[in-house]
Amino acid sequence: MGCLCSKSSAVEDSNESTSKKLQSSSTRASELNVLRLSSSKRVESGGDVKVKSNGSVQLYDDQNGRKKKVEKHELTGIDHPGFGRVPKAIEAEQVAAGWPAWLSSVAGEAIKGWIPRSATTFERLHKIGQGTYSTVYKARDVTNQKIVALKRVRFDNLDPESVKFMAREIHILRRLDHPNIIKLEGLITSETSRSLYLVFEYMEHDLTGLASNPTIKFSEPQLKCYMRQLLSGLDHCHSHGVLHRDIKGSNLLIDNNGVLKIADFGLANVFDSHHNIPLTSRVVTLWYRPPELLLGANHYGVAVDLWSTGCILGELYTGRPILPGKTEVEQLHRIFKLCGSPSEDYWLKLRLPHSTVFKPPHHYRRCVADTFKEYSSTALKLIETLLSVDPSNRGTAAAALKSEFFTSEPLPCDPSSLPKYPPSKEIDAKMRDEASRRQGTVGDREQKVGSSVRQEKAPRAVVSTKDNADMGASVQQKHYSFSKNRSELSYPHREHVSGIAGFPHKQSEDAREMENNASGHFYKRPSHSGPLAPGSGWARGVKEVDNGPTVSNRVNLSKLSGLVASRTLTSEDQETKPVPFPNRKPIEVRKSLEATSGSESRRRRDKKRIVDHSQIVNRRVPTEKSTPDGHGSSGNKIYMSGPLLASSNNMDQMLKDHDRKIQEFSRRARGEKVRAQRK
Ligand SMILES: Nc1ncnc2c1ncn2[C@@H]1O[C@H](COP(=O)(O)OP(=O)(O)OP(=O)(O)O)[C@@H](O)[C@H]1O
């Protein structure tokens, strides 16, 4: 395939002097930026943030009408109100260096000191990943003679908010430098370009892809090796003030030398160690989302990533996601059933926005030890710590690295000793799933898929299962279905999911309880349930589509239920604000979306609608006035998960509406797939 665009590579060389100029002016730029921002800014906690000219931030709390200084911390550069912009003079220099004006004007800070790479110096090979917000390609960097991954970021008509999000990802990636964190090597764009590619080192696998390959079985030393690398990368993030907020298998990339790198910093943000700056709770993919976020916490720290890490550890042992909820409510329910319901102290201490609504009326016993009893005591201890319901008991990545899990036999192996696998990505797993579906195995799909792939379709590991197992005690037979580990996918046959020996949840039981919950048995329904009706049939709507014909349908349908953390939320200190259509009714949202035209914009529009819809379902509720407990989020709005806030009177209508929407969406997804295949 040809080059990405027709711009000459000579541009890059001639830009070197400009680059130096940019670097020298960058300090000046940030100083100016801080000065420009030294006015105080209201934040959603009800306090004020004052950015001082010395680069520090002071947080004031409004107590009884008097401002009281409560916190002072370092300016992080990302969480301050005007992050992203640079002075006009710098903007002009950046444009002269080849950056497009739309990027420089919104995200000048993120590209500071860099010059854009020219697309002509890359040869695009093929697509290797499809994220919610991006498409990833394998490409050859002709200048440096190496293979790279190009992540093409989608924008909604260069909407400044989308650009800002991408800028935050770039800024954070540039701040981190660690062998277990993906390295951003450059950016491809030009003055006239309307797109942006992030250039990354190329990684052959992701953990989801490897783990879902039925021919691959992880040994315990291998599993420990991956966990050690994950925790080392996380420790680096956390010690540099960065929360990842989307730790999951498909974001853990692994190269052919067994090196694991944390990728996808699209939801990452900086945090202050005292948790004074409010952050959105709508982050982390559902299955890996900690209870406090499900309960609406806006002040949190490293513990959110440690919870996700605990889920990954459990998953590596058991061979399947350990908490595969379909809705936020079900997710919370699963968590309580496995980890026990929180103590009274927890509710009092955390004072979480949704606690009154989601507090279970009866006590669930913690059964983590029972569930993982067949694994080593050191593994169990670490899982227990990471899956603590109280975030303050999860410790830190540094502490986890020092745990006996890593010092007891069998020891973690060296990454270089790991087997070499053929490329295994989440996208490969999806394709295998798709292929097997085409073979018409709908009934007992998983077993049939498993065997057919094992014999015919699956890429064969260079090292056989046996060789692999010889590395140490083989951990556990694989139970992965190909939809495993993707919160985007919902399980077609939940019995398989809940079939882990000793696992506490069973779909039928859950379903019954969920229904009880919906009628207000398990969770209390707040008085203002009227307008929240559309969410209540959600779980059922998705469930019905679980047996639908294509992977892509299921992928996107579950996104409708808001399982994937949304990036349409505004960044920085406005994270808790509703976006992108905060004050509009669903019908207005639809009209506004339909106003755009053209196939590309239609595609974007569809994607946007998916996200928007999840936000519509997660309706905002004015907390201060109307939540039963009177607790608010840091802002004056919270988002309630749909299912339990429904008016049961409208249930039939809601289910019909959902069915219609699902069918509509399936049609669109099929059309999209056909278009993609034609490309
Ligand atoms: N450096 C890389 N090398 C190889 N493959 C990569 C690389 N970066 C990303 N990928 C592949 O592309 C997929 C999507 O990338 P990424 O997660 O960064 O996109 P996203 O739009 O943020 O996705 P998501 O919807 O999961 O948030 C990954 O799961 C991975 O398989």
CA–centroid distance, residue 244 to ligand 1 (Å): 14
Question: Does ligand 1 have an atom closer than 6 angstroms to the CB of 425?
Answer: yes
Residue to substitute in 251, 260, 431, 568 for testing ligand 1 pocket (most ligand atoms within 8 angstroms of CB) = 251
Q: Is any ligand 1 atom within 6 A of the Cβ of residue 136?
A: yes
**Which residues are paired to 58 by β-bridges?**
50, 72
Q: In angstroms, rounded to a whole number, what is the distance separating the alpha carbons of residues 293 and 313?
A: 20
Q: Please tell me the number of Cα atoms within 13 Å of 258 on its side-chain side.
A: 18
Q: What distance lies between CA 211 and its chain's CA centroid?
A: 19
Helices (H), 443-486: 445-452, 465-470
pTM above 0.90, yes or no: no
Q: Is residue 539's pLDDT more than 60?
A: no
pLDDT value at position 283? 94
Q: What is the pLDDT of residue 226?
A: 98
148, 152, 210, 250: which to mutate for ligand 1, most atoms within 8 A of CB? 250
Query: Any binding-site annotation on 381?
Result: no
Residue, of 523 and 395, whose pLDDT is higher: 395
| 3-state helix/strand/coil string of 548-604 | CCCHHHHHHHHHHCCCCCCCCCCCHHHCCCCCCCCCCCHHHHHHHHHCCCCHHHHHH
- Average pLDDT score over residue span 90-116: 88
Q: How confident is the model at residue 439 (pLDDT cuts 50, 70, 90)?
A: confident
Among 115-119, 501-505, 519-523, 547-551, the range of highest mean pLDDT: 115-119
- The CA angle 548-549-555, to the nearest 5 degrees, is 70
Structure-token pair, residue 125: 């090979």
Which residue's C-alpha comes closest to atom 30 of ligand 1?
A: 129
Mean of the pLDDT values across residues 364-392?
96
- Confidence (pLDDT) at 570: 33
Question: In terms of Cα–Cα distance, which of 363, 373, 384 is closest to 306?
Answer: 384
Cβ–ligand 1 distance for 250 under 6 Å, the answer yes
CA 426 to ligand 1 center in whole angstroms: 9
**Burial class (CB within 10 angstroms; exposed 0-12, middle 13-18, buried 19+) of 501:** exposed
Which of 277-286, 389-398, 540-549, 659-668 is least confident? 540-549
Contact criterion met (CB below 8 Å) for 269 and 308: no
Distance between CA atoms of residues 338 and 503, nearest Å? 8
Least Cα distance to 121 among 11, 9, 6, 202 occurs for 9
Which residue's CA lies nearest to atom 21 of ligand 1? 131
Q: How far is the CA of 659 from the centre of ligand 1 (A)?
A: 31
The three-class DSSP label of residue 620 is strand
Q: Is the per-residue pLDDT at 664 higher than 60?
A: yes
Whether the ipTM is more than 0.95: the answer is yes
Residue 117 confidence (pLDDT): 92
Q: Whose CA is nearest to atom 19 of ligand 1?
A: 131
Contact 77, 86 (CB under 8 A): no
- What atom of ligand 1 comes closest to residue 133's alpha carbon? 21
Of the two residues 187 and 11, the one the predictor is more confident about is 187
Q: Single out the residue of 353, 184, 244, 280 nearest to residue 568, CA to CA.
A: 280
Catalytic residues: 246
Answer yes or no: is the C-beta of 324 below 6 A from any ligand 1 atom.
Answer: no
